[in-house]
Amino acid sequence: MDNSIISPKAKIDESVQIGPFCYISDQVEIGEGTWIGPHVTIYDYVKIGKNCKIFPGAVIGAIPQDLKFAGEVSYVEIGDNTTIREYATINRGTAASGKGTTKIGNNSLIMSYCHVAHDCKIGDHCIMTSYAGLAGETDIDDWAIIGGGTLAHQFSKIGAHAMIGGCCAIAKDVPPFILAARVPLAYEGINIVGLRRRGFSNEDIEIIGKIYDIIYKSGYNVTDALKIVEECYPGNVHAKTIVDFIRNSKRGIVK
């Protein structure tokens, strides 16, 4: 903690390690076992969980880069066992969004120079590769991976277990379980390797593949394709996940 400025009002577990030249403001909570490297800035209204690692130069809790922000109290919440690498930036939420909190879940990895804007929600076990950026109110479900240098349009949604290639632009929602790449971003197949690593059975993977064949390769429009999926796979949990995601999409899904 030598040469760091740490507010005595901050709630920091005694086991937390803090490197030199850090700034930690009043309204900050940091859970046990977390490591804060040198030159880290943590502003007000930030809660960080247990056993996290925050690397040098990261800035967490700066006010939103949103002209609608009017100085209201808003928050950043980071779960347990999450790593924030060098020079990543994570902004607070806004009242205008109706959310007011930027959230990152457990066991996630935000690599160097990534940006997480106001009111974004990142789930558990997610990876943002270096230089990726999320505009405000982007939602990323559990186990998704965002490639390096990829940028997400405001209000975008990325489904669970999806993987997006590097240097892409996310302008439409990315359904769960798929691989997406190219410019403009497009469906490239399902994330077979990722699903196998996470314990999906061969039968589950085959069903997911057939569902996306109906959606993307059958020639049906999306509305009709979803009805067919429901008829072919009634009660299947993965079919329900896919159908619910697509039906709830407000931006439309990648082509």
Say whether pLDDT at 2 is over 80: no
- Give pLDDT tens digits for 204-231: 999 999 999 999 999 999 999 999 999 9
pLDDT tens profile 66-84:
999 999 999 999 999 999 9
User: Taking the model in full, what pTM does it have?
Assistant: 0.97
3-state secondary structure the chain: CCCCEECCCCEECCCCEECCCCEECCCEEECCCCEECCCCEECCCEEECCCCEECCCCEEEECCCCCCCCCCCCEEEECCCCEECCCCEEECCCCCCCCCEEEECCCCEECCCCEECCCCEECCCCEECCCCEECCCCEECCCCEECCCCEECCCCEECCCCEECCCCEECCEECCCEEEECCCCEEEEECHHHHHHCCCCHHHHHHHHHHHHHHHHCCCCHHHHHHHHHHHCCCCHHHHHHHHHHHCCCCCECC
Catalytic residue set: 118-119, 136
